[in-house]
Amino acid sequence: MPADAVSPLSALEPKLRHLLPAQLYAQAWVDPQPDVLMSVFAHLRTLRYILNDYVPRQVSADPPTPGKVTYRWQEGTLLFTDLAGFTTLVEANSQHGQAGAEGLWHVLNAYFADALEIISKSGGDLLEFTGDAMLVQFAAGDRNSDTAMAVKAGLRMQRTMAKFSCIEIAGRNLSLGMRVGIHTGRFLAADLGTPLRMVRILLGKAVQAAKRAEGAGKVGRVCLTEVASDRVKERFRWEAGQPGYQLAIDDLSDDQLGEYDITFNKRRPSSTLFDRSLAGIMGEIETIVRQVEPLVSYIPQPILKLLVENAAERKIPPDFPQPTVVFVNIMGLSESVDNVRPEEEGELMTGCSQVFALINAAVTARGGVLRNVTYHLEGSDILLYFGVINAHTDDAIRAASAACAVRDIIANLPAPTIGGRPSAIACQIGMAKGPVFAAEIGEPRGRREFNILGDTVNTAARLMSRATANQILMTEAVYQSLAPQSLNDPPNFKCEYQTTVALKGKASPTPIYILQEPIER
């Protein structure tokens, strides 16, 4: 391109710099000929397909304006699944490096592919992955059809688990099982954040009730709260579970259960380029960029970069990195949102959006990733990690600094008004360091997300649950990583040993340390 010429991409360049692989970006800027621009068009079309698969159907079908706070109350049935035996499977595969990562990826995604096909055919919408768990929504229907669809989906998924009952890894026979919990109720769905980073969150006791139903259930069974089971008590047979819960009995024939309730045909935006002139190609590029922009804001920037660079392969290679993982639970918000008055909703959601933006900024500034906001038995969880995608020698220090910053943000948050009264908000934070399984999980050519899983993630979550209000607990591995590297180096943080406890899944007691505050220099 002549030195004094204006590139046809000039107006779009600020947006394209984040959407094109480095090599294609440079080629398009240096030599924006029609054949090169056709490559840009083809890449953006593929990226659009990928991003549509990375967000809930509700978001892809009607993307909110990035940076605009939107929310609405929804009713329906929520189904929560969780895998049993997955941590053992991760540990067995982690001993075999990249080959183990690929093997684990194939097993996990075979499970998710089956589950997601059933969810779609049963009328459900996967809202989010949380590790190896899934949260699925069935929109409210006539004659309690949403709850019946959820029960049938749960039974269908349990039947498919037979193929995962014997998985051979390095001479060991391992198995996967699944618990399913179902609850019906009302919850608040909100889109919060900035134009750079948005998030969809669910708030309300109904979300927590679905999680509790899964925890109260049994591997291989579908467990319903009494609220949910009462809606369909005549359609299925029941076995008493824990107090307040019912287990659906799968005594249905294949014909009675069927393969699906409804068939959902996923509509993808299509672009067939008929006009291959420069103006025609640029017009299509501009259209796709407008369609992609709202979806991009739901993806953390480091993950977006991975997706962009690997778009041609349509796969991010799985790996076993050793990051520092931080779990944050914001207490007091989700539990009390059911009491919010209509006139309080706007201010509350705006405040939540500001808090999320500040937390995301604190994490991003330190080189970490805020994956999403999810659900907890009490409160809303935020998963942060440092050392996946972009690794640094001081990731533990970055993570600890971010954890302290998040704690300060929450501690200094003015109490929101809910139900006419100030509602106290606090946080619990847990930190752990060690190997994780990092990969795209879900359907390889369908609904999926980049995620980290494994014992290190579980340990951080368990320490979070043990923390008191605005307290940060960490493992010994994190504590050692924060210690000065030599006797001449000053300490970075004030830390102290708290106790040694037995944590679920650990063969030996786990020492726990308290992270107090950074040391000013």
Domains detected in the chain: 65-257 (3.30.70.1230), 324-518 (3.30.70.1230)
Neighbouring residues of 412: CB distance < 8 A, sequence distance ≥ 6: none
Return the half-sphere exposure (C-beta side, CA atoms, 13 A cut-off) of residue 335.
13
Percent of the chain scoring above 90 in pLDDT:
65
pLDDT above 70: residue 287: yes
**Token pair in block for residue 175:** 């198995």
Neighbouring residues of 483: CB distance < 8 A, sequence distance ≥ 6: 491
pLDDT value for 374: 78
Average pLDDT over residues 299-305: 95
Cα separation, 198 vs 200, in Å, equals 7
Average pLDDT over residues 282-287: 92
pLDDT-based confidence at 40, cuts 50/70/90?
Answer: very high
- 297 neighbors 196 (Cβ within 8 angstroms): yes
The residue assigned the tokens 């307290």 is: 471
Specify the 3-state DSSP secondary structure of 495: strand
pLDDT-based confidence at 72, cuts 50/70/90?
Answer: very high
Average pLDDT over residues 39-62: 93
pLDDT: which is higher, 517 or 489: 517
pLDDT: which is higher, 520 or 293: 293
pLDDT value for 378: 62
Cα R_g (the chain), whole angstroms: 24
**Token pair in block for residue 329:** 């639970």
Neighbouring residues of 234: CB distance < 8 A, sequence distance ≥ 6: none
Average pLDDT over residues 143-167: 93
Range name among 143-147, 269-273, 435-439 with the lowest pLDDT average: 269-273
Return the half-sphere exposure (C-beta side, CA atoms, 13 A cut-off) of residue 380.
25
Residue type, 492: N
pLDDT in tens, 453-481: 989 999 999 999 999 999 999 999 999 99
For residue 119, count other CB atoms closer than 10 A to its CB.
27
| Sheet strand arrangement including 369-375 | 369-375, 380-386, 324-331, 426-433, 471-475, 510-518, 493-501
| DSSP designation for 164 | G
pLDDT in tens, 374-395: 765 566 789 999 999 889 999 9
pLDDT above 50: residue 265: no
pLDDT value for 196: 94
pLDDT value for 65: 92
pLDDT above 60: residue 268: no
pLDDT-based confidence at 429, cuts 50/70/90?
Answer: very high
pLDDT value for 262: 62
End-to-end Cα distance, the chain: 52
Cα 512 to chain center, whole Å? 27
pLDDT-based confidence at 7, cuts 50/70/90?
Answer: confident
Average pLDDT over residues 181-192: 94
Average pLDDT over residues 264-291: 75
Which of 372, 418, 411 is CA-nearest to residue 190? 372
Cα separation, 262 vs 398, in Å, equals 48
Averaged confidence pLDDT in the chain: 90
Most confidently modeled range among 27-41, 80-94, 482-496: 27-41
Full 3-state SS string of 307-342? HHHCCCCCCCCCECCCCEEEEEEEECCCCCHHHCCH
pLDDT value for 2: 58
pTM (2 decimals)?
A: 0.90
pLDDT value for 170: 64
**Token pair in block for residue 407:** 């704690």
